[in-house]
Amino acid sequence: MADTGLSPREGEGPETTGPSRSDPLDSFLRRAGATIIEHDGVLVAEDFGSVAGEVALGQRAVGVADRSELAKWQLSGRPEQLDSMVGLFTGARREPAVAVHAAGGWWCTLAPDRLLVIAEPRERAGMSNRLNAASDIGVSEVSARYTAIAVVGPRAGVLLRAAGMPGSDPVPDELRSLEVGGHPAHVLSEGPESFLVLVGEADAVPTWEALLEVGHALGVGLVGRQALERLAISARTRARQGY
């Protein structure tokens, strides 16, 4: 996968702070009506006024949600070292443009010698301990350098293609690069109607604005953590039932 410029600059040391939201993004979300609360030890956009309405939006059209609370690490090392590490922790084989969901997180191959690991806040301490125990592999927490934006709903793929995602419909566990409004991003396909857009912290607000502008004709709207969680539960239930 091509380098999209989202990686920490050469020579920078490990990130010492946990998941956070930049002041401009925090102001943007609050102006949009977000209720900000603490959940799992981090601040999240809990809702935008109507959880039921946000769930309905995610079921019929497309919703966009802040996932800044996700913990993120970049790993660097020889390709064979990273291959071995992913195999040890996940039991899976590392492949280009493929993300592995296992062992408490997403293991995303950015390049043969670079890996991005993403985990929920509740998994942060355990994942950090596992990663930092690995020998001869560079580990930097980059939570504050990446902003994560969830795009969910039956029109999510349409929105991302309109925003610049190349190729055909993405398949689950696929990782792609694109530009949203001229800003480089990675897109992780979590499922048929669920995607995670990763952008540099400085590009967070412009990327949000670009997604909302492009998605206006598709009925895009903002959804909070509660609605996102309910939509995820509903998606898992449908998958188990074969829908």
- Domain extents in the chain: 23-69+144-240, 71-141
**What does the pLDDT average to over 165-189?**
87
Question: Of all helices (H) and strands (E), which one includes residue 13?
Answer: none
With a CB cutoff of 8 Å and minimum separation 6, the contacts of 232 are: 194
**What does the pLDDT average to over 152-176?**
89
**What does the pLDDT average to over 160-166?**
89
Specify the CATH class of 23-69+144-240 in words.
alpha beta
- pLDDT at position 217 over 60: yes
pLDDT tier, 72 (very low <50, low <70, confident <90, very high otherwise): very high
In CATH, the number for domain 71-141 is: 3.30.70.1520
**Residue 6's pLDDT is what?**
60
- pLDDT at position 83 over 80: yes
User: Of the candidates 83, 82, 120, which has an alpha carbon nearest to the alpha carbon of residue 103?
Assistant: 120
Residue 80 tokens read as 């064979």
pLDDT tier, 19 (very low <50, low <70, confident <90, very high otherwise): low
**Residue 30's pLDDT is what?**
95
- pLDDT at position 221 over 60: yes
**Residue 158's pLDDT is what?**
94
pLDDT tier, 166 (very low <50, low <70, confident <90, very high otherwise): confident
pLDDT tier, 41 (very low <50, low <70, confident <90, very high otherwise): confident
Neighbours of 57 (CB within 10 A): 23
Pairing of the two strands 114-119 and 62-66: unpaired
Gap between the Cα atoms of 37 and 44, Å rounded? 6
| Predicted model pTM | 0.89
First-to-last alpha carbon distance for the chain, in angstroms, is 32
For every residue of 203-219, DSSP letters joined together read GHHHHHHHHHHHTGGGT
**Residue 125's pLDDT is what?**
94
Task: Kindly list the distances between the CA atom of residue 102 and the CA atoms of 86, 105, 135, 173, 215, in Å, as whole numbers in the listed order.
Answer: 10, 6, 21, 11, 31
**What does the pLDDT average to over 121-134?**
93
**What does the pLDDT average to over 212-232?**
96
